[in-house]
Amino acid sequence: MRVLGVDPGSRFMGFGVVEEKKGRLVHLGHGVIKVVESAPLAERLKDLHAALSAALQRYQPEAVAVEGLFTFRNARSALVLGHARGVALLAAAQAGLPVHEYAPASVKKSVGASGAGNKDAVARMVRTLLGVDEATLERADASDALAVALCHLNQFRVGMPRASAPGNGKRKGAASVLADRLSSAYQRPEARR
């Protein structure tokens, strides 16, 4: 499965593409869409849409995962971010792709950073899990987007029955490998009897 993760923003929108390939998680690309900060909001949204649509066309993902909103003290900031998220949802829908949304705390936990962890912790874990060079991640928006893609692959694995049990000689899927490495981040506690 190939997933394009999106870290929405009205000035900087991160995207990252991760694919399960022959039982491994493979980093296919990432980037940060930058728009002119002084441009009117409508123009910035148009430019974000065009650039994200181009990334969807280039990478041909099977699904799009978008980071959800978190609590803002400033209603205007929340509204503007909501517009940027809407652009991401629209671009994915126009490409005919399913969209999955994840809370920021879930994204952090899915890569092994605590739910209250900072962006540096997320970037460090993404680099470790995908073997991405620190120099290529110019902004946290890109590593956050890759974390959103990894979150979806992890959730996809949790929601799907295992194709093979450990030790039966079959290869495990990349999402399963990720889940095993991060098992404490998402396993539910055993039910009390």
Residues annotated as catalytic (active site), given as ranges: 7, 67, 141
Beta bridge partners of 25: 20
Phi, psi at 91, each rounded to 5°: -60, -40
Q: Find out whether 141 is annotated in a ligand binding site.
A: yes
* Residue 183, number of CB atoms within 10 A of its CB: 10
Q: Find out whether 7 is annotated in a ligand binding site.
A: yes
Q: Are 28 and 59 in contact (CB under 8 A)?
A: yes
Distance (Å, whole) CA 155 – CA 120: 23
Please give the annotated binding residues for Mg(2+), written as ranges: 7, 67, 141
Please give the annotated binding residues, written as ranges: 7, 67, 141
